[in-house]
């Protein structure tokens, strides 16, 4: 019964960051040369240039660029606290919602471009 009450409270008081900025950010990945496979935490999302909705979270995901005959490159997305989350001081259940959905974070950059080095033979 308590769980039902908690779920109802969370449904009535959505988090401020969740309402205003959502739980994903759209990020563009580019490479020189183009055509590298972009993997986020091991899942493929297409070839560069590619724009992907990336779920917000406290620990930034690892992005890997892979292209045949080139060295792979790893990049960690840069994130920080979303100031909209401060509004949760007034509605504390919203803090829980934003924490669970990752909405209290935002990515600091929306375009990541890497230059791939040819693989040494």
Tens digits of residue pLDDT in 105-115 = 788 889 999 99
Number of domains in the chain: 1
Confirm whether 96 is domain-assigned. Answer: yes
Confirm whether 4 is domain-assigned. Answer: no
Give the integer Cα–Cα distance in Å for 87 and 110. 24
Give the integer Cα–Cα distance in Å for 33 and 42. 21
Rg (CA), the chain: 18
Confirm whether 100 is domain-assigned. Answer: yes
Confirm whether 31 is domain-assigned. Answer: yes
Give the integer Cα–Cα distance in Å for 96 and 15. 7
Nearest to 55 by CA among 20, 94, 102, 119: 102
Confirm whether 44 is domain-assigned. Answer: yes
Condensed to tens digits (0 to 9), the pLDDT of residues 1-59 reads 555 444 444 444 454 444 556 778 899 999 999 999 999 999 999 999 999 999 888 88
Confirm whether 19 is domain-assigned. Answer: yes
Confirm whether 121 is domain-assigned. Answer: no
pLDDT > 60? residue 69 = yes
């Amino acid at each position: 019964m308590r769980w039902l009450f908690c779920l109802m409270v969370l449904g009535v008081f959505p988090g401020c960051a969740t309402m205003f900025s959502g739980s994903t950010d759209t990020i563009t990945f580019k490479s020189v040369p183009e055509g590298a496979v972009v993997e986020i935490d091991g899942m493929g999302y297409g070839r560069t240039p590619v724009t992907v909705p990336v779920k917000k979270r406290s620990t930034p995901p690892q992005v890997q660029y892979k292209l045949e005959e080139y060295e792979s490159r790893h990049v960690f997305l840069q994130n920080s606290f979303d100031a909209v989350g401060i509004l949760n001081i007034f509605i504390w259940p919203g803090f829980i919602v934003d924490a669970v959905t990752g909405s209290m974070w935002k990515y600091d950059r929306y375009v990541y471009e890497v230059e791939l080095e040819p693989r040494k033979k």
